[in-house]
Amino acid sequence: MIELREIGKLIYDNIQWIFSGIGVTLLSFWGGKKVIKRIKNKQRAEDQAVNISSANDINSENIVTQTSGANSRCIQVMGDYHGGLSYNDARQVALDVFKANSSVYTEIAKRTIDERVTDITDDIFTMIYNELPNTVEKLVEPAVQDTLLKVQKEYAKNNDPALKERLIELLKNRLKADERDMETVVLDEALEIMPKLTSTQLNLLSLHLAVLRIVHPEVKNRNAFFEMLTSKILVFYSDNMNKTMEYAHLQYLGCTGILSEGSTYKPIEEIFRNRYAGLFSRGFSRAEFYDYMGTEIQDFQQLITTCQIDAEKYQFNAMNEGVLKYSIAQYDKQEYEEKILQYYKEHIMGVEEIKKDISLYVPGFEELSDFWKKTSEFKSMNLTSVGIEIGLLNYNLQTGSKIEWSDFM
């Protein structure tokens, strides 16, 4: 490790260059590094030069004399000095990069574009400095600058507040991602594709994820289920989602594929029946339980709870069959497992009964159910990694969720 005296000599020998105008410029470009020096300073400033020093616990043996050229700055610190790009500097660099890469437009169009680019650039750097200050130094990377430039260009072409929000969120994810990670590649692709999608196509991707891929841990009872269905699934449904062209465009852009060998998804009521069966139990009485099991209900009290539909009856305390199997093993009731599972299934509503039950409490569910059954393009649609990224981004923005793309990969 180089001794401090050697560092001092190196600086002293090159003092004229380091603290000339070009030296300060390069040091600013290399900003973000920590500079630690234990030096007492003597500074002489020439015309319009600025000397800045900060010293604590100075050792008198370490003395360096600095001479600054005209219009330059001398900076010495004792402790940590954080240079780097300031908010205004970084913002201006982003605007300059855009102007250097923008096409030639008419004067009126140019003014409009400048206003839009300034608008989204201000929002971008406010987000970065408030939410992701540790990623500022990534802005000097060519790949990140290219992403930022694309975001500016897309918003310059389309002054859509919703698009701006999605573009900034996508850029945020890009800044957080590891440069060597697959998500970086997916995010770069998503940036190219997302502006080409309509709100209906975005919602198709999110609806697919919300029903088939996203887990909803907040669902503990029927009221929570109905609330989730309204605010996190039906919010993405509309009655114009049955047009073949919507699905053809999604597939053309690489957001979706088709399930193999003509496969299709189960009806939505059946999906809910498998996942949330415990919410649709008709329940049983103590006498009915004894007649079937041949033992009193209190012998299974760890597995039994009050019925969610009829408070005068009982049901098994499990959201689905998988949870019930786990509880049977946990409470050492394996000898009754087959009978318990059979009795559990017998008291769950059928698919059509579930559809009617949900429709009583959730307006619009019947239409969603019919769409799910009749729209073959949706039933056979499979999302690619890019489709998942875009659909999840749209889902998070509309529901206030914070689900990560990596959760699906």
pLDDT tens sequence across 302-320: 999 999 999 999 999 999 9
Residue 24: the pLDDT is 39
- Over 50: is that where the pLDDT of 108 sits? yes
Q: Please say whether the beta carbons of 31 and 85 come within 8 A.
A: yes
**pLDDT at 217 (0 to 100):** 92
Say if CB 94 and CB 129 are below 8 A apart.
Answer: no
Residue of higher predicted confidence among 343 and 110: 343
Q: How confident is the model at residue 85 (pLDDT cuts 50, 70, 90)?
A: low
User: What's the rounded mean pLDDT across residues 164-181?
Assistant: 91
Across residues 283-300, what is the average pLDDT?
95
> What per-residue confidence (pLDDT) applies to 78?
52
**More confident: 22 or 99:** 99
332 vs 329: CA distance, rounded Å: 5
Residue 260 one-letter amino acid: S
Query: 91-104 b/e with 16+ CB inside 10 Å = b?
Result: bebbbebbeeebee
pLDDT beyond 60 at 66: no
Residue 135 is predicted with a pLDDT of 87
Rounded mean pLDDT of 193-220?
Answer: 96
Instruction: Find where tokens 């900076």 sit.
Output: 75
pLDDT for residue 60: 41
Q: What is the pLDDT of residue 96?
A: 64
Q: Which residues contact 110 (CB under 8 A, 6 or more apart)?
A: none
What share of the chain in percent tops pLDDT 90? 60
pLDDT tens, 237-279? 999 999 999 999 999 999 999 998 778 999 999 999 999 999 9
73 sits in which H/E element: strand 73-77
Query: Mean pLDDT over residues 361-386, rounded?
Result: 95
pLDDT, tens only, 143-152: 888 888 899 8
Residue 381 burial class via C-beta count within 10 angstroms: exposed 0-12, middle 13-18, buried 19 and up: buried
Q: Across residues 322-333, what is the average pLDDT?
A: 95
Q: What is the pTM of this model?
A: 0.74
Instruction: Choose from 77-81, 134-138, 244-248 the range with maximum mean pLDDT.
Output: 244-248
What pLDDT is attached to residue 56? 44
